[in-house]
Amino acid sequence: MNKIRFLCSLLPFVGLQSAALAEQITVEGLITPRDDGGMYVRNPDGQFEVEWTKDTKVALEVNTRLFKGLKAGELHYQIQASRETVRFPLPKGPITGVVEARNKSQLENKLKEAREENWIGEHGLCLHFGESLPQQMATPEDLRFIGLWDPNAKPRTLTINGKKYECSLKKGGQTNALLFNVVGTKDCRPFVNRARVVGQRKGGVIHAEEIHLEPIGDQSASDEPKLPRYLFIGDSISGNYDKGLRGFLAGKFNLHHPPTNCGPSGKGRSGIVEWLGAYDQKGRHWDVVSFNHGHWDSGNDKVNYQENLEAIITELKKTKSKLIWVTTCPVPNGYPKVGDLNEKGRLPGRTAGVMKKYLNPWALEVIGRHPEISVCDQWQYVKDNEAGLYKEFWAGKNVHFRGKPADKLGEFLGAHVLKVTK
């Protein structure tokens, strides 16, 4: 892996580097407790020991869509795929905004846009609340645009030495931002936050220069201690049947969903350790886990898809819970009909019949190697009710479910959960 030069932008996970006396490193994952201060960060590569000092900078990482939650001196942060809202008081005073070009080539484009269009953009945006940094235009030696950020202007602006620049996304969409001076090391709470840690690894310990926190909620906070715990993993379809599933199992299980759209199998492979949390600790175990990845894999190939599922299953088995694979629901007939694989063996995308012909059979090949995993066949349930409950769905061009069809899908899964836990 390449060495990391960190300025003030969001960085992707870059993994571990070769051993050295001190090496720059970035790791991210679920925060778990460390006995003598500091913390551990757990991800599929292992558990990493982290220490901090008074000089460690801590930032709250948010999607910019959450800026609409900036109200009366505090940020209302709604945890994704959750009803939980966390409130963060914001320091009074100036707000310094920092936008950094990714490299010198991008800098040239950004400088041109700033000169000709008064536009900088907010990719990699960092906001320093209650802090004034020296204002500057970016240069090849320092890729940062630094100015005063106005959260109330529409569009949002970054004022550099008296000149205003638009600082938002040109064509819609979303990006992430780091909010400094809003949280501190005291907020690095186990189980309820994930973290990206940037720092120096010396021996077996990472000495944090920066920590970027993302709240994920406390999975066990509202649990009924006497009830078993059930985690259901899935994409937006699981959000559709959430209400029906919870209603059907009310009073029988504590239900949880990862605080995200679980998306494709690749996201499941990289996120499964974090989603499972500290299941080896009292009160955080899982009695049942159901899982699905499919719709987002409609452009994937068989080898990658199956390898991802196997990696996910390896982690799931460690929980010693009852495991349920949920087949991927159909793509309705309003979409183009499924075609053949391309020359690289990749699927033709979200097309009618792609689940029946490819993805569900590929998944069941994997599940068949693990007889302890039961199958809840939601695809077949929707097919069996094609002429009735799901008639409108089949004729349309929307893979999502609403109202009674969605609730019944959740009840169908709930019944399967009860059957395998008798």
pLDDT in tens, 223-257: 899 999 999 999 999 999 999 999 999 999 999 98
| Beta-bridge mates of residue 27 | 197
Q: Break the chain into its structural domains and give their ranges.
A: 23-215, 229-420
Cα torsion angle, 362, 368, 369, 371, sign: positive
Length of the chain: 422
**Third-level CATH fold of 229-420:** Rossmann fold (3.40.50)
Q: What is the pTM of this model?
A: 0.69
Cis bond upstream, residue 155 (ω within 30):
yes
Q: Give the CA angle between residues 220, 235, 45 to the nearest 5°.
A: 65
Judged by phi (left if over 0) then psi (alpha if -120 to 50, else beta), residue 26 lies in: beta
Is the model more confident about 117 or about 230?
A: 230
Sequence-distant (6+) residues with CB within 8 A of 355 are 294, 327, 328, 329, 330, 331, 379
Taking residues 41-70, report their average pLDDT.
Answer: 88
* pLDDT of the residue at 16: 39
Query: Strands 144-150 and 85-89: what pairing?
Result: unpaired
On average, the pLDDT of the chain sits at 89
Residues 6 or more apart from 92 whose CB is under 8 A from it?
Answer: 73, 130
Render 313-338 in DSSP notation, one character per residue: HHHHHTTT-EEEEEPPPPPPTTSPBP
Burial class (CB in 10 A: 0-12, 13-18, 19+), 251: exposed
Is the pLDDT at 9 greater than 50? The verdict is no
Q: What is the pLDDT of residues 43-56, one digit of tens each?
A: 878 889 999 999 99
